[in-house]
């Protein structure tokens, strides 16, 4: 790696028209400059969108099974390069190597699954109310799609968006996070290798506040798919609403794990550790709130703290490391500000709560795995998404109190309950306000063939993953009537 990378527009690699670039650094060693990327401006965005618009008619007319073949070919290349890509991912955004491999694997799974939809793309055939009349509906592509992805899953989430967009017949302008442009580039290179027609998939680099802003305002962009912060999502929704663009938003989470008195303590501890400190807590599905019933509270907390103490923080390329760095200095200090506020508001810091910046940690963005006790729903720690290795613990007396606490936030993405009681498990499925609920497993995402997304301020109601993505986001219904009666037939009983 190293050197200057380029945008990919109309099947060609191009620098930004301005010639300006920005650096990308390794969060485990900020002196390690990985590469420089183009800082795209209005001309670059215009070029990318126009390229996608020109390619759209031909791509839309390509049969869906043929479009899907490109996804299968791309998946084969990703399989062959899985661990090389994983190493680049760990260097670029910090997650430990085995998690980075899982990120690439999810992209593979998504490409393979969505390729199958190229032979389904199911519509509807239904009886007409009139004789000698055929009624049906099918799916058509939307047009030029702006796909804006985050840095925490730099291979999986782009594929969640690119694969369904392409198989539906749309063309794409893809803007990866400015924190992870390497993986975005490597993914586009794969599609270039499978000879995807020029202009069908375009790549532009730059910040969300500048390049992303230009992209969402562009009049020839018909659809925006965004994963990121609630504040940015609300802004995009406002822009899209004024221009009548389709928009899909996957935003924040403040995910609870409930542990009832009858739970398997060891299983719960394992799940909480993975949910709270995997990916350094930098997941929208991260376990951020732990809600524990009185009876099991002392032993669960004791065992959990003992396990947190053993977590090794460091460079994710080291196979003995459990928790990698935070993405950048801004996020590092934002996490620490939340921790300080938690202490000020009366929560009890039991472990962690510090920036690690000495010795082996001196050059990176490392934060100690952190746990607070005595957290209440009124506290900032309980309410706001921190996006770091910080877990807030609340003690409750009953299942009903636990559900009330779980639902007492503005988000509703992933959730979990640990219990051996089917009565409480099934009630939790119904009563927790979240798009995803796990029973006896941590708050993680979805498998690629099931819907991923949430309620309340977690998004705008759409789901990613599975066939729902095609139906809800990346295609439009078209209804067709064929009257072969040979005479004028009037509907609604009009003679």
250 catalytic residue (yes or no): yes
H or E element, residue 54? helix 42-61
**Rounded Cα–Cα distance for residues 94 and 154 (Å):** 11
**Rounded Cα–Cα distance for residues 157 and 135 (Å):** 37
- In the block, tokens 């609403």 appear at 241
284 catalytic residue (yes or no): yes
* Residue 108: strand, helix, or coil: helix
Determine which one of 50, 250, 457, 464 is catalytic.
250
**Rounded Cα–Cα distance for residues 439 and 428 (Å):** 9
Query: CA 442, 467, 152, 9: dihedral to nearest 10 degrees?
Result: 170
Contact 189, 201 (CB under 8 A): no
- The CA-based angle 307-152-214, given to 5 degrees, is 155
Sheet holding 133-141, edge to edge: 124-127, 133-141, 475-483
**Rounded Cα–Cα distance for residues 82 and 107 (Å):** 10
Spatial CB neighbours of 56, under 8 Å, sequence gap ≥ 6: 141, 143, 144, 170, 171
378, 381, 418: which is closest to 293 by C-alpha? 418
Task: Dig out the tokens for 454 from the structure.
Answer: 């949430």
Backbone angles phi, psi at 172, to 5 degrees: -130, 140
Contact 38, 44 (CB under 8 A): yes
Spacing of C-alpha 266 from chain mean position:
29
Task: Dig out the tokens for 480 from the structure.
Answer: 């067709």
Instruction: Show the beta-strand stretches assigned E in 345-420.
Output: 348-351, 355-356, 366-367, 370-373, 390-396, 411-412, 414-418
Q: Which residues are 351's β-sheet partners?
A: 371
Determine which one of 284, 373, 457, 472 is catalytic.
284
Q: What is the largest CA-CA distance in the chain?
A: 88
Would you name the residues annotated as active-site residues? 250, 284
């Amino acid at each position: 790696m190293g050197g200057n990378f380029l945008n990919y527009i109309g099947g060609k690699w191009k620098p930004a028209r301005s010639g300006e670039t920005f650096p990308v650094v390794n969060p485990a060693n900020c002196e390690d400059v990985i590469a420089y990327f183009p800082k795209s401006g209005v001309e670059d965005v215009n070029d990318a969108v126009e390229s996608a618009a020109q390619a759209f008619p031909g791509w839309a007319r390509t049969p869906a099974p043929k479009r899907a073949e490109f996804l299968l070919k791309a998946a084969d290349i990703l399989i062959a390069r899985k661990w090389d890509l994983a190493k680049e991912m760990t260097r670029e955004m910090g997650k430990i190597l085995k998690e980075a491999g899982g990120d690439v694997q999810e992209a593979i799974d998504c490409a393979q699954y969505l390729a199958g939809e190229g032979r389904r793309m199911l519509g509807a055939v239904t009886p007409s109310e009139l004789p000698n009349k055929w009624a049906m509906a099918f799916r058509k592509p939307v047009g030029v799609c702006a796909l804006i992805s985050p840095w925490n899953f730099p291979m999986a989430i782009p594929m969640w968006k690119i694969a369904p967009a392409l198989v539906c017949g749309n063309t794409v302008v893809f803007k990866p996070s400015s924190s992870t442009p390497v993986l975005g580039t490597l993914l586009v290179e794969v599609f270039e290798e499978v000879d995807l027609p020029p202009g069908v998939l375009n790549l532009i680099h730059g910040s969300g506040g500048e390049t992303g802003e230009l992209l969402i305002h562009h009049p020839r962009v018909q659809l925006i798919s965004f994963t990121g912060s609630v504040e940015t999502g609300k802004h995009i929704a406002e822009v899209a609403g004024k221009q009548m663009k389709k928009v899909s938003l996957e935003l924040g989470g403040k995910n609870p794990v409930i542990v009832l008195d009858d739970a398997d303590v060891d299983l719960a501890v394992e799940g909480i550790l993975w949910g709270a400190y995997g990916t350094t807590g930098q997941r929208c599905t991260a376990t951020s709130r732990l809600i524990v019933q009185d009876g099991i509270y002392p032993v669960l907390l004791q065992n959990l703290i003992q396990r947190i103490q053993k977590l090794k923080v460091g460079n994710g390329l080291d196979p003995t490391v459990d928790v990698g760095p935070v993405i950048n200095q801004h996020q590092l200090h934002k996490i620490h500000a939340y921790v300080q506020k938690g202490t000020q508001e009366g929560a009890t810091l039991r472990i962690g709560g510090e920036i690690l910046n000495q010795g082996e940690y001196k050059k990176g963005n490392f934060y100690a795995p952190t746990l607070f006790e005595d957290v209440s729903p009124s506290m900032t720690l309980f309410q706001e998404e921190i996006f770091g290795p910080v877990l807030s613990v609340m003690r409750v007396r009953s299942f009903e109190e636990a559900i009330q606490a779980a639902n007492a936030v503005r988000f509703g993405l992933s959730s979990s309950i640990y219990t051996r009681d089917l009565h409480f498990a099934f009630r939790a499925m119904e009563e927790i306000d979240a798009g995803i609920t796990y029973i006896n497993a941590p708050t993680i995402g979805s498998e690629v063939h099931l819907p991923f997304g949430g309620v309340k301020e977690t998004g705008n109601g759409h789901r990613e993953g599975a066939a729902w993505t095609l139906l809800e986001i990346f295609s439009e219904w078209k209804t067709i009537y064929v009257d072969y009666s040979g005479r004028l037939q009037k509907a609604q009983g009009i003679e």
